[in-house]
Structure 1
Amino acid sequence: MPRAPTKQARTQRNQAIRADRARGWPLRKIAKHYCISLALAHRLARDVHIQLPSRWHRARMPQGAPLPPCTAVHRLLVPY
């Protein structure tokens, strides 16, 4: 029988989920990657705003153009 994850492991997973959502990952990809339900992924990342443009927009940007700075990701990685 698998053991339940510790509180520290859950906290780290939740921070990683929030950081991935800020990077632009869709909720379905997050749920599949972390083996959690879509509802749980949505609950954990519902208040996170995507900081980088989507893949569609990045494909249409000039190659030499830098991506905008991702200033809010550090807020997601620091424990509250």
Structure 2
Amino acid sequence: CRRNIGRQIPLIIQYFILKTFGEEIEKTMLQLLQDTSKCSWFLEEQSDTREKKKFLKRRLLRLDEARQKLAKFSD
């Protein structure tokens, strides 16, 4: 009987550590969700990224137009 209890002590300790850690994560996540001002910068797009995206979209349009013209030319 003593051996069985001895084997379960590490599992009991691990359970309480994981339970406490899970509660802390839950509390922290709820705080982050409630305070959106701290997290809003994650969602903001940087200006250089925004400009590069615009450039690439324009380039894609030009390439698509060129592809269509080449397809008409080859027919």
Provide the TM-score with structure 2 as the length reference: 0.30
Greater helix share, 1 or 2? 2
Higher RCO (C-alpha under 8 Å, 6+ residues apart): 1
- Higher Cα radius of gyration: 2
